Amino acid sequence: MSWQHIKIPNGNTVIFCNAFITGKSSMNIIVTHTPIITTLDLQLAYEPLSQYDVNVFAFDFSGTGKSGGNEKDFSRNSIVKDLDSVIAYIEKNYSSNIHLYGNAGIGGMFAQYYACTSNKLKSFAQFACVDYKNTSGVGYPYPTVKLLNFFLKLLPNFHVTVKPPKYEGYNEAHDNAFYKMIEQNNPNVWKNSTKVMNTMLECFVAQDSVIKNGVNIPTLVFKTLYDRYFKPKYFDSYYNSLSCKKKLVEIDDVHNSYYLNSEKFCQTVYEWFIENQ
């Protein structure tokens, strides 16, 4: 068995998916990631899942990476449509034992948005999260985010350079080295689509954001203690807002530990999914 590239029908276009298939009746795990690079660039973050008796479907959102579609059409609705299409493909060809792992920052946020809408998932695990109206996770106060959201909705799609906040502290060399590697492989990685950025902001502040309804399926939340984006109390605030079956897993490491220590993350995710299948 090995990783294979498949194209999943998605309306008039296709979704690119990096898949590892163990068997027709095996548990199915969907993996989402930050849509600034392709899933292939982050394979090490989820590759340890392939050692278990599971099928893995790691995909690029439409309009990004190697998937079809247009970046200007990226939205909360397109995220839901993409994941609906991936789930439909899995149900048709494998089984309905489907779980969702949102990792690599914004990938966790977008996965959370979907998890608030769907009744087709058995359980959910996420790294990075949206605590509705608590915008400290994006680095700006709530009024500023609302204003940005207002203007970005009116403007056409364009690209703006947004780099990660600087980090100094525990394990900084490893955390910073990860970004250097990404930059070497993708020189334009920080030139972000305003449609993708605004979609993320809407998850936090939009009146019709389904995030405010909460996740209703079993949810595992990773809490990194030395994160350049999120303070520990941010994770706590989100976790405490959940009324579903839940589990909080503290990671005594940095933001990019989901990649740097992917064996631990993937083992924890797998065990959670096994418990809730």
* 114-119 mean pLDDT: 96
Mind listing the pLDDT tens digit for each residue in 193-209?
999 999 999 999 999 99
Quick check: 1 pLDDT over 80? no
How sure is the predictor about 78, in pLDDT bands with cuts at 50, 70 and 90? very high
How sure is the predictor about 161, in pLDDT bands with cuts at 50, 70 and 90? very high
User: Who contacts 135 (Cβ-Cβ below 8 Å, separation ≥6)?
Assistant: 141, 142, 144, 145, 204, 205
Q: Tell which residue, 58, 61, 74, has the closest CA to residue 18.
A: 58
Decide: helix, strand or coil at residue 223.
strand
Does this model's pTM top 0.95? My answer is yes
| pLDDT confidence of residue 22 | 97
* 33-41 mean pLDDT: 96
* 168-183 mean pLDDT: 96
| pLDDT confidence of residue 99 | 98
CA 198/CA 203 separation, integer angstroms: 9
CA 213/CA 229 separation, integer angstroms: 24
| pLDDT confidence of residue 54 | 98
Contact 3, 18 (CB under 8 A): yes
CATH homologous superfamily of 3-131+210-275 equals: Alpha/Beta hydrolase fold, catalytic domain (3.40.50.1820)
Domain limits, the chain: 3-131+210-275
| pLDDT confidence of residue 21 | 98
Quick check: 105 pLDDT over 90? no
* 68-78 mean pLDDT: 98
| pLDDT confidence of residue 137 | 86
